[in-house]
Each structure stands twice: as structure tokens, then as C-alpha cells.
Amino acid sequence: MAERGAHLTATSHAKPSIFEVIAQDSLAVTFHPALKRVATFLASCNPERYGWLVKWFEELYLAFKTLLQFIT
């Protein structure tokens, strides 16, 4: 009986379509410069409070991207 329902388990993952892969790549290409611009703007408006953002931006972006990929 179990051999008939073995293929119905939720262990198989659907492969992403080519459109999803292209959308992910284009989002990654545009997201980094946009966040960099926001960090630069914040640091230029209030350098005492947000000056560290520009200094540590690459590390923060790496942590954010890792967390985002881990969640999804």
C-alpha cells in the first residue's frame, strides 16, 4: 500500500521557471545600488548618526542578503 503513495510526498521541489530566475537576477542587480544610495543619503544628512552605515555597508548588505536567502 505504501508503494502506491510514495510519490505523493512533499519532498519534491518545483524548479523555478526561467522568468523567476531572470527576475531574481535583475532584482539583485538593482537592489544593491539602491540600498547603497539610501545609505549614502542618510550618512550625508546626518553623519553623526548614520556615518557608520557607509563604512559597514558591504558587511550589512551581505548579512541582509544571507538572511533573505535563508528565509526563502
Q: What is the overall mean pLDDT for the chain?
A: 86
pLDDT surpassing 90 at residue 14: no
The predicted structure's pLDDT at residue 70: 87
Q: Judge residue 42's burial from the number of C-beta atoms within 10 Å of its C-beta, 0-12 exposed, 13-18 middle, 19 or more buried.
A: middle
What are the tens digits of pLDDT across the range 28-42?
889 999 999 999 999
pLDDT surpassing 60 at residue 1: no
The predicted structure's pLDDT at residue 22: 92
The predicted structure's pLDDT at residue 4: 64
